């Protein structure tokens, strides 16, 4: 498919905004990696987020998908989900974690049986949280049409049971903390994420 936003352009923009970093990082999963993505730094720029969401919307339309609602899991999916919903002309809502750490709908958001949903993420890392959101929505009777994201860190290998659209596949190595070659090389590890330390316990 011919795209209006080449992946090379998106990657350059991400690097320029310090949203795509290379080095030695501790991810929210506790794993170590040579690559870190912080899309919030990219999405803070409406002039960048708008064209990216427009390209995702074009891919969705080209695939013949007609969602009723876009759901963006908090926090990473809130901004891109809202902008994608605007581009598609449908409502945009978000899921968030409750006091027990479970994904849920709050703030009066509801899903009707048969409602066609696209899940919007900033980054798909393993697909685990995306599948968690999908299970929640399908338990309410929704139909998941696809998941879309700015970046797919799995390069298409996420274990998702529905179509996966991403603007930029990123190949990133991940390592267990006790078997990390970056640690053995003496490269200091950085934890740039937004989750508190207790998320690693």
On whether 197 is known to bind a ligand per the annotation, the reply is no
DSSP string of 95-155?
A: -EE-TTS-EE--TT----TT-EEEEEEEEESSSHHHHHHHHHHHHTT-EEEEEEEEEETTT
Q: Among 96, 91, 92, 72, which residue's Cα sits nearest to residue 149?
A: 72
The response to whether 35 counts as a known ligand-binding position is no
Does residue 128 have a known ligand-binding role?
Answer: yes
Residue 124 annotated as lining a ligand binding site: yes
7 is in an annotated binding site: no
**What are the residues whose beta carbons fall under 8 Å from the beta carbon of 45, sequence distance 6 or more?**
17
Q: Is residue 123 part of an annotated ligand binding site? A: yes
Nearest to 142 by CA among 163, 117, 123: 117
112 is in an annotated binding site: no
Residue 125 known to bind ligand: yes
Q: How far apart are CA 147 and CA 19, in angstroms?
A: 21
Which residues sit in the known binding site for 5-phospho-alpha-D-ribose 1-diphosphate? Answer: 121-129
The annotated binding site for orotate is made up of: 125, 153
Q: From the annotation, which residues make up the binding site?
A: 121-129, 153
């Amino acid at each position: 498919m011919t795209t209006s936003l080449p992946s090379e352009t998106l990657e350059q923009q991400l690097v320029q905004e310090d949203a795509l970093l290379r080095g030695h990082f501790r991810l929210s999963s506790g794993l170590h990696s040579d690559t870190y993505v912080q899309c919030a730094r990219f999405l803070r720029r409406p002039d960048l987020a708008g064209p990216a969401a427009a390209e995702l919307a074009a891919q969705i339309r080209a695939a013949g998908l007609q969602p009723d609602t876009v759901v963006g899991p908090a926090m990473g999916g809130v901004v891109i989900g809202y902008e994608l919903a605007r581009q598609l002309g449908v409502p945009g809502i978000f899921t968030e974690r409750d006091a027990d750490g479970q994904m849920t709908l709050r703030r009066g958001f509801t899903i009707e049986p048969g409602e066609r949903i696209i899940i919007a993420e900033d980054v798909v890392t393993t697909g685990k949280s995306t599948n968690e959101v999908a299970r929640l929505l399908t338990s309410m009777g929704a139909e998941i049409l696809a998941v879309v994201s700015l970046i797919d860190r799995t390069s298409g290998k996420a274990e998702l049971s529905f179509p996966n659209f991403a603007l930029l596949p990123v190949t990133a190595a991940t390592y267990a903390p006790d078997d990390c070659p970056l640690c053995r090389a003496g490269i200091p590890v950085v934890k740039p994420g937004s989750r508190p330390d207790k998320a690693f316990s």
